[in-house]
């Protein structure tokens, strides 16, 4: 077990969706533990801010994870800039509230393409590089919704369930090359995407009532889990998705339609 406080010293990491929210928190933790990071995101303004914050420990590249060529370039940048790719965190994602019978094809495609196809493209090319090296760790950011259904979240739930299975298949296929593939499934964590929940007390309270530990998670909670899985402390863990949800999987998801109806 590494007790030096530099669990990722000398490691090179790629983080998709790394300019904000969970991805940025993971980047901050990785850099604090000695890693160099490449942030792959669409938001150039936020990436510029991250570069200023992290200095030489950070490189950025505008990346649309639904475009395979973009993902290829992001992996290549990590190797070009830092000589290798030790850790990859696939954090890019999005969601919306629309029930299945009202969902348009374009909306379905936009969510599934980012949350599932984007993870596939990322795993594919991260895995190619890591297989060449004979080592590496891939961490897919899944969700509590991969096992717990949420009204109005059909595309998101289906995508994240798919991510869990990609994690298992990836671990099976890449294990012989000494590449570990793991997942993290967060419960409610406030990020720029989920922040509006705070403005709806009825919805926020419904979430909290179904979290045994009685609080929402923080991006640091997820970053700590990512650090563990990326480090040698987790050297015999692969194919597993770690649920970081305050115990919410033991209860139920908020009834959105009922809550929204009561809110008017």
Which helix (H) or strand (E) segment is 54 a member of? helix 44-54
Q: What average pLDDT does the structure give for the chain?
A: 95
pLDDT given for residue 245 in this prediction: 98
Q: What is the pLDDT of residues 18-34, one digit of tens each?
A: 999 999 999 999 999 99
Domains of the chain: 12-263 (3.40.50.720)
Q: What angle do CA 209, 91, 213 make, to 5 degrees?
A: 20
pLDDT given for residue 5 in this prediction: 66
How does residue 244 score in pLDDT terms, banded at 50, 70 and 90? very high
45: tokens are 């303004």
Q: Contact 41/62 with Cβ under 8 angstroms? A: yes
The Cα–Cα gap between 226 and 27 comes to 10
Q: What is the pLDDT of residues 123-182, one digit of tens each?
A: 999 999 999 999 999 999 999 999 999 999 999 999 999 999 999 999 999 999 999 999
| pTM for the whole structure | 0.96
Q: What is the pLDDT of residues 178-236, one digit of tens each?
A: 999 999 999 999 988 888 888 889 989 999 999 999 999 999 999 999 999 999 999 99
Across 107-136, average pLDDT: 98
The 3-state DSSP class for residue 182 equals strand
Res. 2: pLDDT tops 60: no
Which helix (H) or strand (E) segment is 40 a member of? strand 36-41
Provide the annotated active-site residues. 156
For 98-193, where are the alpha helices, taking DSSP H only? 105-112, 118-133, 154-174
Name the DSSP class of 188: S
* Cα–Cα nearest to 63, from 29, 23, 20, 15: 15
């Amino acid at each position: 077990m590494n007790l030096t406080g530099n669990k990722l010293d000398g490691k090179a990491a790629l983080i998709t969706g790394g300019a904000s929210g969970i991805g940025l928190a993971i980047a901050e933790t990785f850099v604090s533990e000695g890693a160099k990071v490449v942030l792959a995101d669409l938001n150039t303004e936020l990436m510029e801010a991250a570069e200023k914050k992290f200095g030489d420990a950070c490189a950025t590249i505008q990346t649309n994870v639904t475009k395979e060529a973009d993902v290829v370039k992001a992996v290549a940048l990590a190797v070009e800039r830092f000589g290798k790719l030790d850790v990859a965190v696939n954090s890019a994602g999005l969601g919306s509230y629309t029930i299945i019978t009202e969902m348009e094809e374009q909306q379905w495609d936009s969510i599934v393409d980012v949350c599932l196809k984007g993870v596939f493209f990322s795993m594919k090319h991260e895995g190619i590089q890591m297989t060449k090296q004979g080592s590496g760790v891939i961490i897919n950011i899944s969700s509590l919704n991969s096992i717990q259904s949420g009204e109005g979240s059909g595309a998101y739930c289906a995508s994240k369930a798919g991510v869990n299975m990609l994690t298992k298949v990836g671990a099976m296929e890449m294990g012989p090359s000494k590449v570990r593939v793991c997942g993290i499934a967060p419960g409610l964590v406030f990020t720029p995407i989920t922040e509006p929940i705070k403005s709806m007390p009825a919805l926020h309270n419904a979430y909290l009532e179904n979290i045994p530990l009685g609080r929402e998670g923080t991006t640091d909670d997820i970053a700590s889990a990512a650090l563990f899985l990326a480090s040698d402390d987790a050297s015999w863990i692969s194919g597993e998705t770690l649920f970081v949800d305050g115990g919410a999987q033991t209860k139920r998801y908020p009834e959105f339609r009922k809550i929204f109806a009561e809110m008017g």
